[in-house]
Amino acid sequence: MPLALLGFLNITLTDILDILMVAAIIFILFRWLRGSSAMNIFVAVIFLYVLKVVVSALNMTLMSGIMSTVLDVGVIALIVIFQPEIRYFLIKLGSRYGFGGSGWKLFNRLFGRKSDQLGSAATDALLDAVRDMSAGKTGALIVIARQDSLQHIIETGDTIDARINKRLLMNLFFKNSPLHDGAVVIHDNRIVAARCTLPLSGKADIPAQYGMRHKAAIGISEASDAHVVVVSEETGEVSFVSDGQICTIQDPVQLRELLNRDSKSASEEEARS
């Protein structure tokens, strides 16, 4: 009853639904941005919006006008600041509900769109090269394209267009090679480019033992659905990166399973269809 005396607190079922939906969106955004450098900005935006609602409810005209102006102008700034996060969100949304979904199989087949999968010979050559580079502590950064186009990444490097070969991969990452800096991109069972520049991840919670190669691997896996294999130059440790998550590889069998996991899933889905 005391709440009814305050006109702005007359709550209906629609208001409750509205509050629950906003709360759900904030929770999803919080989980999405948790651990990234954008988290503090997100908290500040929520605080400013809550403050605007409060001053509007209290009929504080001047403060309400100032807050409205700040938030209206801030929308453009937020688009610029959150550009990597927005891109990542839209890519994941499209991968989950768009061309990656089973409902789009017929569409994908009609237009020739398919997931890039490593063949057996290519996988063997890649595993052999990674094993030897790990033993010799040769740093490597190998990006394996899948459905998302990496043309903008390929254009930053030098075109190779060669069959996947153990010796070629090892020569590309040999420290005296002019192409050893940057990433090698594999697409359609071929090495298409070397010395490519990858976007660095904006995550703030990446463990200190991971260097620039790992941050770049996380960055491209956040911006696309690509898989990345990293060999540490300091320790020789092999890592597999996908969807922004790093998995330390214990043996070649584990890496083979991770590389072939999507190929098996795709084959099973085609068999069922």
pLDDT at 88: 63
d(CA 56, CA 58): 5
Q: Are residues 73 and 139 in the same domain?
A: no
Side chain identity at 47, as an amino acid letter?
Answer: F
Q: Is residue 241 part of a domain?
A: yes
Q: Is residue 27 part of a domain?
A: yes
pLDDT at 263: 55
Asked if residue 273 has pLDDT above 80, the reply is: no
d(CA 182, CA 180): 6
Asked if residue 33 has pLDDT above 70, the reply is: no
Distances (CA, A) of 236 to 26, 90, 223, 250, 268: 41, 35, 26, 12, 35
For residue 192, give both structure tokens.
């298409």
Q: Are residues 140 and 201 in the same domain?
A: yes
Q: Is residue 90 part of a domain?
A: no
Asked if residue 107 has pLDDT above 60, the reply is: no
Q: Are residues 235 and 156 in the same domain?
A: yes
Asked if residue 214 has pLDDT above 80, the reply is: yes
- At 143, is the pLDDT very low, low, confident or very high (cuts 50, 70, 90)? very high
Q: Which is more confidently placed, 219 or 116?
A: 219
The arrangement of strands across the sheet holding 183-187 comes to: 158-163, 190-196, 183-187, 140-144, 227-231, 238-242, 245-248
DSSP state of 225: S
Residue 185: beta bridge partners?
143, 193
Q: Which is more confidently placed, 61 or 127?
A: 127
Q: Is residue 88 part of a domain?
A: no
- At 116, is the pLDDT very low, low, confident or very high (cuts 50, 70, 90)? low
Q: Are residues 267 and 149 in the same domain?
A: yes
pLDDT at 163: 93
Q: Are residues 54 and 132 in the same domain?
A: no
Q: Are residues 59 and 132 in the same domain?
A: no
d(CA 85, CA 32): 9
Q: Is residue 251 part of a domain?
A: yes
Q: Is residue 97 part of a domain?
A: no
Segment 147-171 shows an average pLDDT of 90
Domain finish residue from 81, 107, 129 = 81
pLDDT at 141: 95
Domain finish residue from 51, 81, 111 = 81
Asked if residue 235 has pLDDT above 80, the reply is: yes
CATH (domain of 227): 3.40.1700.10
Q: Are residues 251 and 131 in the same domain?
A: yes
Domain finish residue from 33, 56, 81 = 81
pLDDT at 91: 62
**Within a 10 A sphere around the Cβ of 150, how many other Cβ atoms?**
25
d(CA 182, CA 196): 5
Q: Is residue 209 part of a domain?
A: yes
Asked if residue 3 has pLDDT above 50, the reply is: no
Asked if residue 236 has pLDDT above 60, the reply is: yes
Q: Are residues 164 and 73 in the same domain?
A: no
Q: Are residues 73 and 129 in the same domain?
A: no
Q: Are residues 69 and 131 in the same domain?
A: no
Q: Could you give the percent of the chain with pLDDT greater than 90?
A: 30
Q: Are residues 30 and 129 in the same domain?
A: no
Q: Which is more confidently placed, 252 or 3?
A: 252
Segment 171-192 shows an average pLDDT of 90
Q: Are residues 77 and 167 in the same domain?
A: no
Segment 189-210 shows an average pLDDT of 86
- At 63, is the pLDDT very low, low, confident or very high (cuts 50, 70, 90)? confident
Q: Is residue 112 part of a domain?
A: no
How many domains does the chain fold into?
2
- Domain of 6, in residue numbers: 2-81
